[in-house]
């Protein structure tokens, strides 16, 4: 029995991580020991004198490294959700060790020889579909990670992977520091004119938490977005906009420009070493959209519909602004959210301040749980005895219709200085079966919503409601997994397929039958009026053209960074040509998308940001079936669970989609839902 809890079997309920006992100093010793254990497991496979077969090579490899997976998953989860200088130091020290160990596996010639020998027998082996997928993925994993390179190129491959690992960590830390180090301290209440009470109260609470008078606006979404939407003080909106959009671009200690150049350069070199034209070609080989041309054509199709709609919307917004006192020739980017919110309220008589009282966080969660029960027969029971990584974290046991444990699920919902911005889903432990024993998943949803104040609970905007539904969709994908192999379980699917379960859940959030499950006024208990629901629906496509252009711009920037050889072009020059999202507005000096674009430079979305729009095609088309049959239709829900949610990566995504829908997806569903067809 070790005094390091990470090295022991977790004797907790459902073998959950004992976060209350884990300390930063436990990680590096545990990782080093886990690596040594992993090396011995690989040696056992390589030194096996029996002929290579599925069990003694592929399955043995699949089940190796479990201790290392356990420890590293916890470390990197904490680095996102509750980091500290000590955790960050651990990550910096652990990353090269993990990269080196990964390289030792993928570049081991004797191990690859055994894997290849089994792969070449695939057609003669009596394997089910899932096992064939595991075998094929295992072989490709080696080939795509340098197994066929000569010794000189293998050495360079190792160096590139190590450098990329460090650069990604540096990029992420710089964005976090830039976000945390900025504060707009307001001492004159007149500078808050236009801001709703909920935003003022939150800003005052932030100031009080820092022992300051007045109000503090931060770059965290619950603080930043309301100020940009409501504050009449244009100069302060500009200041906040510039601070947010210049993160990593200020030439200071947190500057990310060199990180961007080096990451792009090294990814290109890595792809070329492996025989691919560009990094995008390498990445897309294993996606539904399996070529650069397919992605570029897809983005061009969106642009064809979105640009005319965006132009009309911007003209309408400019006219409205001028009629309401705006005197400049063109709207600036720090004006758009402000006047959009005013126009939206005028056109639809709806805004966040009107809706937020109906979206108490706890009520929204209960609504999501009820929806999950109606669709999939699963129930949630909070268990305070399951330790979290912070006092604010809530842990739930998730049960199926027979009362059997499906998963442990954690929710973490408020901003903290040790928590990166945004919202995400994380799987701490995947689902798999080994020696007849099934291991169920441990899943995390992390968001950054407004905290409760002295007078109000946490009240969400409708956009935050859809974010909550979105991340819960990812969680369902992990929680409902029903496979044999961890590497194919849950969200381990093609990157442009992984957003289907999350984005289809967003559709439910706006349906009247679903809103009636949870949208009650936090003070009176009054159910949300039908009129408000209609207004939510009516306003759902408000500024959809500009919204699509924004996403199109991000997808284009991503593809342009990764679908060509690096050159000496500055970030400013590069974005001036490729940021279609900014091109509709006057140019703003001193800002950058790339230097804080964490999705592609420190997340897993490089050459893959298009997948959000790609998945919109899938989710819009899939949800039409729910609409046709009834959104709580058990037969449709069961089909979606059996063919999509439970299957993970056990089959090709298009095959899974066809099994659910009976045909390939139709892009018209997305254009129709977003209103872009009507605007063209």
Residues marked as catalytic? 471
DSSP letters, 287-309, are SSS-SHHHHHHHHHHHHHHHHHH
Give Cβ neighbours of residue 152 (< 8 Å, ≥ 6 apart). Answer: none
Give Cβ neighbours of residue 663 (< 8 Å, ≥ 6 apart). Answer: none
Q: Which helix (H) or strand (E) holds 444?
A: strand 442-446
Alpha carbon separation from 210 to 205, 215, 298, 328 (Å, rounded): 9, 10, 48, 38
Helices 109-119, 129-143: inter-axial angle, 10-degree rounding: 140
Q: Which two tokens stand for residue 69?
A: 């997976």
- Whether the Cβ atoms of residue 409 and residue 395 lie closer than 8 Å to each other: yes
- Whether the Cβ atoms of residue 16 and residue 74 lie closer than 8 Å to each other: no
Q: ∠ CA(460), CA(202), CA(212), 5° rounding?
A: 165
Q: Strand 394-399 and strand 379-382: pairing? A: antiparallel
What distance in Å separates the CA atoms of residue 69 and residue 59, rounded to the nearest whole number? 16
- Whether the Cβ atoms of residue 321 and residue 335 lie closer than 8 Å to each other: yes
Give Cβ neighbours of residue 516 (< 8 Å, ≥ 6 apart). Answer: 527, 528
What distance in Å separates the CA atoms of residue 513 and residue 370, rounded to the nearest whole number? 12
What distance in Å separates the CA atoms of residue 60 and residue 43, rounded to the nearest whole number? 11
Residues facing residue 459 across a β-bridge: 360
Q: Which two tokens stand for residue 120?
A: 């070449």
Give Cβ neighbours of residue 501 (< 8 Å, ≥ 6 apart). Answer: 473, 474, 476, 477, 644, 645
What distance in Å separates the CA atoms of residue 229 and residue 356, rounded to the nearest whole number? 15
DSSP letters, 129-169, are HHHHHHHHHHHHHHHTTTTTS-HHHHHHHHHHHHHHHHHHH
Q: What are the φ and ψ backbone dihedral angles of 432, each rounded to 5 degrees?
A: -160, 170
Place of tokens 């889903």: 425
Residues facing residue 424 across a β-bridge: 446
- How far from each other are the two terminal CA atoms of the chain, in whole angstroms? 68
Closest CA to 484 of 245, 273, 294, 648: 648
Question: Burial of 545 by CB count in 10 Å (0-12 exposed, 13-18 middle, 19+ buried)?
Answer: buried
For the chain, state the CA radius of gyration.
25
Closest CA to 252 of 482, 528, 590, 587: 590
**H-state helical runs in 50-84:** 60-62, 66-81
Q: Which helix (H) or strand (E) holds 437?
A: strand 437-439
Give Cβ neighbours of residue 636 (< 8 Å, ≥ 6 apart). Answer: 625, 626, 629, 630
Residue 565 DSSP class: -
Alpha carbon separation from 248 to 175, 243, 409, 423, 573 (Å, rounded): 6, 10, 34, 20, 17
């Amino acid at each position: 029995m070790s005094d390091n809890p990470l090295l022991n079997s977790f004797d907790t309920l459902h073998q959950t991580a004992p976060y209350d006992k884990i300390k930063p100093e436990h990680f590096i010793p545990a990782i080093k020991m886990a690596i040594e254990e992993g090396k011995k497991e690989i040696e056992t496979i390589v030194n096996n004198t029996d002929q290579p077969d599925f069990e003694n090579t592929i399955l043995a490899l699949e089940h190796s490294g479990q201790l290392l997976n356990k420890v590293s998953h916890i470390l990197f989860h904490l680095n996102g959700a509750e980091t500290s200088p000590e955790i960050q130091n651990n990550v910096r020290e652990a990353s090269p060790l993990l990269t080196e160990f990964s390289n030792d596996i993928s570049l081991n010639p004797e191990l690859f020889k055994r894997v290849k020998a089994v792969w070449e027998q695939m057609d003669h082996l009596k394997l089910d579909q899932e096992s064939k997928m595991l075998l094929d993925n295992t072989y490709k994993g080696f080939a795509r990670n340098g197994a066929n390179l000569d010794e000189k190129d293998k050495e360079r491959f190792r160096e590139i992977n190590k450098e990329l690992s460090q650069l990604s960590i540096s990029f992420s830390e710089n964005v976090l520091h830039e976000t945390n180090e900025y504060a707009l301290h307001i001492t004159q209440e007149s500078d808050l004119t236009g801001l709703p009470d909920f935003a003022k109260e939150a800003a005052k609470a932030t100031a009080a938490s820092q022992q300051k008078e007045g109000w503090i606006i931060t770059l965290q979404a619950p603080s930043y977005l309301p100020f940009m939407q409501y504050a009449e003080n244009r100069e302060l909106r500009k200041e906040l906009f510039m601070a947010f959009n210049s993160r990593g671009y200020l030439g200071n200690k947190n500057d990310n420009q060199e990180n961007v150049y080096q990451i792009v350069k090294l990814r290109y070199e890595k792809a070329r070493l492996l025989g691919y034209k560009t990094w995008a070609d390498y990445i897309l080989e294993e996606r539904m959209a399996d070529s650069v041309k397919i992605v570029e054509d897809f983005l061009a199709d969106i642009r064809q519909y979105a640009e005319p709609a965006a132009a009309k919307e911007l003209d309408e917004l400019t006219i409205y602004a001028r009629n309401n006192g705006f005197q400049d020739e063109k709207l600036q980017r720090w004006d758009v959210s402000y006047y959009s919110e005013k126009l939206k309220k005028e056109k639809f008589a709806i805004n966040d301040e009107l809706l937020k009282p109906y979206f108490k966080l706890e009520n929204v969660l209960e609504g999501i749980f009820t929806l999950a029960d109606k669709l999939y027969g699963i129930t949630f029971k909070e268990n305070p005895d399951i330790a979290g990584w912070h006092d604010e974290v809530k842990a739930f046991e998730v049960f199926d219709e027979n009362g059997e444990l499906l998963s442990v699920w954690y929710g973490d919902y408020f901003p903290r200085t040790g928590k990166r911005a945004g919202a995400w889903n994380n799987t701490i432990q995947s689902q798999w079966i080994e020696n007849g024993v099934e291991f169920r998943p441990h899943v995390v949803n992390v968001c950054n919503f407004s905290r409760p104040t002295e007078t109000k609970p946490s009240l969400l905007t409708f956009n935050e409601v859809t974010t909550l539904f979105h991340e819960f969709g990812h969680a369902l994908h992990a929680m409902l997994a029903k496979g044999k192999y961890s590497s194919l379980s849950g969200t381990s699917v093609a990157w442009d397929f992984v957003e289907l379960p999350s984005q289809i859940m967003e559709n439910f959030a706006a349906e009247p039958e679903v809103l009636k499950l949870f949208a009650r006024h936090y003070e009176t208990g009054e159910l949300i009026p039908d009129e408000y629901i209609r207004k939510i629906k009516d306003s759902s496509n408000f500024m959809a053209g500009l919204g699509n252009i924004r996403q199109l711009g991000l997808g284009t920037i991503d593809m342009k960074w990764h679908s060509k050889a690096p050159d000496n072009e500055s970030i400013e020059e590069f974005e001036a040509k490729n940021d279609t999202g900014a091109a509709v507005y006057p140019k703003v000096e001193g800002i950058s998308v790339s230097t804080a674009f964490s999705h592609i430079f420190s997340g897993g979305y490089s050459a893959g940001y298009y997948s959000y729009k790609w998945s919109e095609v899938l989710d819009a088309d899939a949800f039409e079936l729910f609409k046709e049959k009834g959104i709580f239709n058990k037969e449709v829900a069961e089909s979606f669970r059996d063919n999509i949610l439970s299957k993970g990566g056990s089959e090709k995504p298009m095959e899974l989609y066809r099994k659910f829908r009976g045909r390939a997806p139709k892009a018209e569903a997305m254009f129709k839902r977003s209103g872009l067809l009507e605007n063209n």
